[in-house]
């Protein structure tokens, strides 16, 4: 079963690349942030619990997120395999995932690297579709019609946790969590580093090349 993890700090382009890869490889896109936002929109118990953590830019408790992800993995859509986006965020979550799918269950882990100042610039202009979660950027990837999603015509908005005062906190939390996670997957020999500071297509090609699914451009 083809399961891949995309790792990287907030704003690195995980969501964009995960969507492209899932379409290209025919795998489900399992994005924990998107799932949690959907729970919030639907007003579920989990959504209510998640709201405070997400607004503060903090991680939800591991057991809550692990339960949600394991539930998703049972679904038909995940049968062919999946791209994990935003999960695991802690070593505890990585251990739980390995327990659930076995040590070979995760094939490779792609770490998208982008300098921090580029991330801050990207996030301050980020807009997301309320309905289908497609990401845009005010300057570098604007929608064809202002405020409307090109894909589903849904309304575009700035996520509450993309506001400048929250972005700094999210980056700090994520950096602290990321290093042990990178070490965990490096020890398993699964970690692949990819330059995320390129155009969308070039990053996708770099990912496919790292996975051995495309010859690198010479």
Closest CA to 176 of 9, 45, 36, 6: 9
Residue 39 sits in the site that holds ligand AMP (CB under 6 A): no
Binder of ligand AMP out of 27, 36, 106, 119 (CB under 6 A): 36
Q: Which is nearer to ligand AMP, 66 or 208 (CB)?
A: 66
- For the beta sheet containing 126-129, the strands, ordered from the edge strand earlier in sequence to the opposite edge, are 135-137, 126-129, 156-157
Candidate list 8, 13, 57, 143; residue touching ligand AMP; CB under 6 A: 57
Q: Is 33 in the site for ligand AMP (CB under 6 A)?
A: yes
- The CB-of-19 to ligand AMP minimum distance in angstroms stands at 13
Regarding 86 and contact with ligand AMP (CB under 6 A), the answer is yes
Look up 148 and say whether it is catalytic: no
Supply angle C-alpha 47, 50, 51, rounded to 5. 85
For the residues of 16-38, what is the DSSP string, one character each? HHHHHHHHHHT-EEEEHHHHHHH
Judged by CB under 6 A, which stretch of 54-62, 100-108, 141-149, 195-203 contacts ligand AMP? Answer: 54-62
Establish whether 14 is a catalytic residue: yes
Backbone angles phi, psi at 4, to 5 degrees: -125, 150
Helices 45-56 and 62-73: angle between axes, nearest 10 degrees: 130
Select 89 or 122, whichever has its Cβ closest to ligand AMP: 89
Q: Is residue 65 a contact point for ligand AMP (CB under 6 A)?
A: yes
Rounded CA gap, 57 and 114, in Å? 20
* Closest C-alpha to 132, from 24, 34, 22, 32: 34
Q: How many CB atoms within 10 Å of residue 33? A: 20
Q: Which of residues 187-206 bind ligand AMP (CB under 6 A)?
A: none
170 binds ligand AMP (CB under 6 A): yes
**Residue 89 makes contact with ligand AMP by CB under 6 A:** yes
Say whether 211 sits in a helix, a strand or coil.
coil
**Which of these is catalytic: 19, 89, 108, 122?**
89
Positions touching ligand AMP (CB under 6 A) are 10, 32-33, 36, 53-54, 57-60, 65, 86-87, 89, 93, 161, 170
Q: Which residues are catalytically annotated? A: 14, 89, 126, 159, 170
């Amino acid at each position: 079963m083809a399961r891949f993890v995309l790792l990287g700090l907030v704003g690195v382009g995980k969501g964009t690349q995960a969507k492209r890869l899932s379409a290209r490889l025919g795998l489900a896109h399992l994005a924990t942030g998107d799932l949690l936002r959907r729970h919030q929109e639907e007003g579920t118990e989990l959504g209510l619990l998640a709201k405070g953590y997400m607004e503060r830019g903090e991680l939800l408790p591991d057991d809550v997120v692990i339960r949600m992800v394991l539930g998703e993995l049972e679904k038909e859509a995940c049968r062919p395999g999946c791209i994990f986006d935003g999960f695991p965020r802690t070593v505890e979550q990585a251990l739980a995932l390995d327990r659930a799918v076995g040590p070979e269950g995760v094939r490779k882990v792609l770490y998208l690297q982008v300098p921090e100042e580029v991330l801050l610039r990207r996030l301050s202009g980020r807009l997301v579709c309320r309905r289908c979660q497609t990401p845009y950027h005010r300057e570098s990837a604007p929608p064809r019609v202002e405020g409307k999603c090109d894909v589903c015509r849904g309304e575009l908005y700035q996520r509450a946790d993309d506001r400048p005062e929250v972005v700094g906190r999210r980056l700090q939390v994520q950096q602290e969590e990321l290093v042990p996670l990178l070490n965990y997957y490096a020890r398993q020999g699964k970690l692949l580093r990819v330059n995320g500071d390129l155009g969308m297509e070039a990053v996708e090609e770099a990912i496919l090349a790292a996975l051995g699914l495309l010859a690198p451009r010479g």
